[in-house]
Amino acid sequence: MKRVLLIGIHPDAVDIHDPTLPPDITHEKIAAGIEATLADMKQRGWHAAFCALRPETAVPDIEASLKENWDCIVIGGGIRIPPNNLMLFETTVNTVIRVAPGMPIAFNTSPENSADAAAR
């Protein structure tokens, strides 16, 4: 069974007023996208989990999630795409590399293609 960890920002920690995000985005839509992503992965027969980051606790949250064995880490677009999250993106990638060297890292462009990213 493939084991996939999705790392993303906790829905409540997303600045939904960020002009780089879709204008109709809500915390509820973000949470629903995460749930749909995890359901897609589970339908593929994978064990999937979500590491919900808050910027102030990102490193210990990632470290705790990486105590389990994973086959792939998917870093969500909410961390990677908005320009104001650049430092969080760097922190996320560097923490994964430090704690789980050699771990495949995948990147999605939306919640809908997270499982496809992990499958690559």
Residue with tokens 């949250």: 61
Tell me which H or E stretch contains 55: none
Q: Say which CATH number the domain at 36 has.
A: 3.40.50
What range defines the domain where residue 43 resides?
A: 3-119
Domain tally, the chain: 1
For residues 31-37, average pLDDT: 95
For the stretch 67-107, pLDDT in tens is 999 999 999 988 998 899 999 999 999 999 999 999 999 99
- Kindly tell me if the per-residue pLDDT of 25 is higher than 90: yes
The count of other CB atoms within 10 Å of the CB of residue 36 is 14
What DSSP string runs through 68-98?
S--SEEEE-HHHHSSGGGHHHHHHHHHHHHH
How large is the angle between the packed helices 58-65 and 86-99, nearest 10 degrees? Answer: 30
Burial of 58 (0-12, 13-18, 19+ CB in 10 A): buried
> Which pLDDT score is estimated for 109?
85
Q: What is the pLDDT of residue 1?
A: 86
